[in-house]
Structure formats: structure tokens, C-alpha cells
Amino acid sequence: MSDATLASTAPPAAAAFPAGGLRRRLVPLGLALVAPCALLLVWQVAVQSGMTRLIPSPHEVAEEMVDFAVGGIWDDAFSGTLLTHLFASMQRVYGGFALAALVAVPLGLLIGRVALVRQVMDPFLQLMRPVPVTAWLPLSMILFGLGARSAFFLVFLGAFYPILLNTVFGVRSVEPRLFEAAEMLGCRGNAQFFKVVLPASLPSIFTGLRLGLGLAWFVIVVGEMTGVPQGLGAVIMDARTLSRTELVICGMIVIGLAGFVSDRIVVAVMNRLLRWSPLHHV
């Protein structure tokens, strides 16, 4: 009593490190490096051929990056401060993001599942949504003062909506059939929340978390316009005032890398938790 159509789609448990595994890892890496390298090349050529005088060469930026990271070249106010600024920004990004997730996921689950909460909260949240984070900047400085708390709040705002909307969407789009199946098997009422609603909306929740964390890094520069002394956004704003474009670019690169690494971590957790879903392996 078995259909013979499965064997080939059985879980790839044995695919850990077979021969050629290294190659299989290096090829995607090589392909992924094509576009960044091309950009570097164009940049170098453009600067060398004198197309612009305002943008430093990749070499100058690299030099600045070393100084920014470990010091020993310029020995100015920014030398060797990368980690300090990175940690300051990370605290705000992860703090704001974590708070956004802690509020948005439960709220989204409730809005999606409970009609009363939806009727009370949804119009209000939809009205607030179009207001850009940048527009909140002045008000946030009045409410939370100059400094880290303002930045924290702005990051929270930026991450909040994608998490909330995707969670609501996930809850609303659970297949009705699964509720019938659960009920007919004796799982009813509130038990369905944890046994059906939550797992079924997990893919959407993760999409929201990914977008939210991305946006958290996205708004960190705005968030750190609020007069914080430390942070990558603050560095970029200061460097701009001082016309140190190479330092601006360093800040951009570090934010890009930090955002990328953050996203990979979320994806790794997601792939682990959603290994049942054929559509959510990135």
C-alpha cells in the first residue's frame, strides 16, 4: 500500500557535504560578486578619467575604512571608532525592531482574528500609515527629546507597519479548510489559535519581519539625525557637514553590510522554522 511517486522528493538529508559540495557553494558566491565588482570597476574608471572631482576613489574609501575601523592612518576624531558607532546603531536598530515585532505581531494576530479589534484599530492604523517616518522626526524630538530615544522611536515606527500588515495578511489568508479540518478533529476555539492560525501565518509573519528589519536599517540615518553623538547615521551626517565624502561612503557600506548580515540571520531562522513550506526557502 504505497504510491511509488515519492522517492525522489524525500527530504535531502544525505545532501550535507557530498563530493563537489565546495564547488556548489563557491559558484553562487562568485556569481553574487559579479555586480559589486562591476560597480567598483565603473567607480574606479569614472574617478580616474576625471568624470567627477567630488567623489573619492575606491582606494581612498578603502583607506578611510581601515582608519575608521582600526585607526592608525589619519588619527582624527573618527579613527578606530567603527565598532562604537556600529554598536550604537545596532542597539537602536535591534531595539526598535524588537519592540516593533513585540507589538506588531500580537496586534496583527488580534486584528486578523478578532473582528472587534479590527474595527477599532484598523481605520486608525491605516490613517497613520501614509505618514512617512521622516515627517515624524520633529514631533519625535519634541516627544522624546534629542538623542537616542528619538532614534529608537523612529526605527520602531519604520519597522512596525510591514510587520503588522504582513501578520494581518497572514492571519486573514489562512485556508478556511484548515479550520474545518481542525474542528472536525476536535481542536476548536482558542486552541485553534496556536495550532492553526499561528503556524499558518508564520510565512507571512517572517516576510514582515524581514521587511521590518530591512526598514529599520533603512531609517537609522533619519533616526540618528536627532542629534545623537554616536551611530552610523550620525557619522554620515557629521561627515557630510565636514565634506568628508569618503567617510560618508564608509558609513553607507557598513550599514549595507550590517543590514545584509541581519537579513541572513532572519532568513536562517526562517528556513529552519519554515522547512515545511516549499515556497519559503531563500
Nearest distance in Å: CB 19, other proteins: 25
Among positions 20, 177, 190, 243, the unique one binding other proteins when judged by CB under 8 A: 177
- Binding flags for other proteins, 3-42, as an x/- string (CB under 8 A): x-xx--xxx-------------------------------
Residue bearing cell 531595539: 95
Quote the CA–CA distance of 235 and 84 in Å, as a whole number: 11
Position of cell 476555539? 189
CA 253 to centroid of chain Cα atoms: 15
Question: Where in 200-229 is the site for other proteins (CB under 8 A)?
Answer: 200, 202
Taking the least distance from each CB to other proteins, the nearer of 209 and 248 is: 209
Q: Does 276 bind other proteins (CB under 8 A)?
A: yes
- If one asks whether residue 189 binds other proteins (CB under 8 A), the answer comes out as no
Nearest 5°: phi and psi at 203? Answer: -60, -45
Closest Cα to residue 169, out of 97, 123, 104, 103?
A: 104
Identified binder of other proteins from the candidate list 80, 147, 199, 227, rule CB under 8 A = 199
Helical ranges in the chain per DSSP H:
21-48, 58-70, 82-113, 115-128, 133-144, 148-172, 176-184, 191-192, 198-223, 232-241, 245-273
**Shortest CB 28 distance to other proteins, Å:** 24
Our CB check for other proteins shows the closer of 1 and 31 to be 1
Q: Which residues bind other proteins (CB under 8 A)?
A: 1-3, 5-6, 9-11, 175, 177-178, 180-188, 191, 195-196, 199-200, 202, 274-278
